[in-house]
Amino acid sequence: MVQTGIYDLRHSYAAYLINNGVDIYLVKDLLRHDNIKQTANTYGHIERKREAMSVFEENGTKSVSRTSDLIPNP
């Protein structure tokens, strides 16, 4: 049987919120962190991953056929 603790649930809740576009400042308030650094240090990797993946989403999907499509032209 898998043991799930309160902090596992808390982390899953925060990850769910961030992955669904909830502002990290609101997540900070909901988790009652003292400052945004605490939230960013704990969950910032999720926010960065979500931002990176947003490249592939535009009204649901965005097709990228080659790597050069991801690099803006100067």
| Tens-place pLDDT, residues 7-35 | 889 988 998 888 888 888 999 999 999 99
Q: Is 31 among the domain residues?
A: yes
Residue-wise over 22-60: b if at least 16 C-beta within 10 A, else e? eebeebbeebebeeeeebbebbeebbeebeeeeeeeeee
Per-residue model confidence as pLDDT tens digits over 36-63: 999 888 887 777 777 777 767 665 554 4
Total structural domains in the chain? 1
Q: Is 48 among the domain residues?
A: yes
Q: Is 69 among the domain residues?
A: no
Token duo for residue 39:
């939230």
Q: Is 70 among the domain residues?
A: no
Q: Is 74 among the domain residues?
A: no
Domain that residue 52 falls in = 6-62
Percent of the chain with pLDDT over 70: 74
Q: Is 73 among the domain residues?
A: no
Token duo for residue 63:
């097709």
